[in-house]
Amino acid sequence: MLQIGKNAPAFSLPNQDGEKVSLRDLRGFKIVLYFYPKDMTSGCTQEACDFRDELTPLKKLKAIVIGVSADSPASHKKFREKYDLNFDLLSDESKEMLETYGVWKEKSMYGKKYMGIERTTVIIDEFGKVSHIFSKVKVTGHVQEIKKALQAK
């Protein structure tokens, strides 16, 4: 279970190019780790494009943006290229990290229950500790929330 002030669980996952990205390699940066359900869907595309469009102000706040879903690296590569995304997308096909971070949950649509990713953003500070958790994220205005949280630190 994630807790603010506690160490973020370690991870090492392939990005869209198949290169491993590990939490320990990102020390010294604030990490905006956002979990999203699926590449190429409307809400996920909007969220990714919002982060893309605000990446420069986020970088000025010493933050790195990383998206995570259960899609394959190949799917991430297509998604990244189609929308000119300027940050890494990590693939957790095993769902191990998704479960560790508590975002792989039972969901319901039209009365049908299924397992999926609950849209969540976690901010990890320069020392690897969880500083913010945004659960059940609404896409509209979310990046502004993230910027405010980063500025408050």
What is the set of active-site residues?
44
Lookup result for tokens 């397992």: 115
CA–CA distances in Å: residue 99 to residues 11, 46, 66, 123, 127: 12, 24, 17, 17, 22
11 CB-near residues (< 8 Å, 6+ apart): 22, 23, 90, 97, 100
Burial of residue 114, with CB atoms counted within 10 A of its CB: 0-12 exposed, 13-18 middle, 19 or more buried: exposed
Q: What gap in Å lies between CA 66 and CA 38, rounded to an integer?
A: 14
